[in-house]
Structure formats: C-alpha cells, structure tokens
A and B are shown apart, each in its own frame.
Chain A
Amino acid sequence: GQQVMQIPQYQHVQEGEDFTTYCNSSTTLSNIQWYKQRPGGHPVFLIQLVKSGEVKKQKRLTFQFGEAKKNSSLHITATQTTDVGTYFCAGKYGGSQGNLIFGKGTKLSVKP
C-alpha cells in the first residue's frame, strides 16, 4: 500500500548545528506537505511542495522535492531551541482527493 517512510526517527543536535530529515515514497506523490508538532501540541502546517525538483525556503528552513516526486527533505540551518519538536512529512497520491499519508516523523531535540 501507499506508505511514506521518514528517517531518522530521532535527532539530537547541539544548538547551532544543522538538521535534516528525509522522506521517501515507493510510488510517485502528487504533492508533499510538511508539518511540525511541538511536544504536547498538534501538527502545524509548514509548507507544500508540488513540482518536481521544487526547492522552497522559509528563513532557516529549506524544503526540497525530488525530481521523481518520490522523496523530499527538510533542512534546518543553525538550529535553535525553538526548533524542538517532531517534523512530519505527509504525502498525497494521485487519485486521492483528501487523504494525506503521514510519515512517522523525526523528533528533533536541541541542546543549548
């Protein structure tokens, strides 16, 4: 079935270090969204990528969508303690109007 794999499961970094989480699907995605969930909170939308090879930036965050639209990554430059939380990718497949398939998430902890 349709499944979105996300690695790593956990990442511990020192404040100021970079962080990257990767998302992979065995079949082509229609688009991919990224969400952040703070401890004890609910997922909050970050961005959507639609086009093959698309790269989008939000301040220290860089999002990429692979050429084959099967993988994506989120890179955070110079992490801060406010970046702590779990980052989820969520893929949408063609033929599915509303169904988002979430990865298991990467839990980021930042040591000050």
Chain B
Amino acid sequence: DTGVSQNPRHKITKRGQNVTFRCDPISEHNRLYWYRQTLGQGPEFLTYFQNEAQLEKSRLLSDRFSAERPKGSFSTLEIQRTEQGDSAMYLCASSFNRGDKSRFEQFFGPGTRLTVL
C-alpha cells in the first residue's frame, strides 16, 4: 500500500498526558499537512511542511501542539498536557508540489482518533 499511513489509528489517554502521532506520507510527496476533524465538522487546518520546513501554522494552534518533519519524510504531531477538548480525529495529508509537475490534490491518511478521558 503506497498511500498515506498514520499510527496509531486510535489513542485513548488521560487528561494531562502527552501523546505523539506519526504520519508517513506518499514517498515522493514533498508537502505534508496536519488537520483536526471533529464530528460534524470539516477538517480544520493545523500546519503544513514543505520538505522539512514548517511553512504555515494555524493561529488556532495552541502552544501545546508541536509538529516536526526532521528529514522531510515522516512527520510527528505531539500534543502536550492533553485536554478533553483535544479529542478529535487527527488527519494527515500529503501532496506533490514542485514546479510544473505540481499536483494540487491532497491525499489523506486514515487518521488517528484521539480520546482524552
């Protein structure tokens, strides 16, 4: 399977704990995006990377959230001191954007469902 993969698929944690999610994009894709989706809502943009550089962050993104893409391949999203309001599906997407070979569509992974008790 050469699609976007995310791990874990489900995470249950207690309030105050730290959690980390991983996203492996499609191998040739240089852009990687993180979104959060709650029930009945569309995906909400969190941040995106072009290669290893984090180019854009949502103003809504709390400082408890941090994302990395150290080698321009996989990415991790960490949430520190989780709160019940962090419960959501965390989606990762990737795309290929390089000059005239750019492909604009974003390919989404299956998501990590976080439940904070």
Contact = CB atoms under 8 A, between A and B. Distances in A.
Contacts of A43: 43, 91, 93, 106, 108
Interface string A72-106: 00000000000000001010000011111111110
Interface string B35-61: 100001111110010100001101000
B75 to A, nearest CB: 13
A44 interface: yes
A112 B58 CA distance: 42
A51 to B, nearest CB: 14
Contacts, number: 57
Contact of B31 (A33, A41, A98, A101): A98
A54 B35 CA distance: 28
Interface in A22-66: 31, 33, 41-45, 48
Contacts of B35: 102
Contact of A44 (B41, B42, B108): B108
A9 B111 CA distance: 23
Q: Which of A41, A43, A101 has the most CB of B within 10 A?
A: A43
A103 B42 contact: yes
Contact of A42 (B33, B40, B50, B109): B109
A45 B105 contact: yes
A99 B106 CA distance: 11
B49 to A, nearest CB: 9
A100 B106 contact: yes
A88 B56 CA distance: 22
The 3 closest A-B pairs by CB, nearest first: A102-B42, A45-B105, A98-B48
Interface of B: 31, 33, 35, 40-45, 48, 50, 55-56, 58, 91, 93, 104-111
Interface of A: 6, 9, 31, 33, 41-45, 48, 88, 90, 96-105
6 contacts: A90-B43, A98-B33, A98-B55, A99-B56, A100-B45, A105-B41
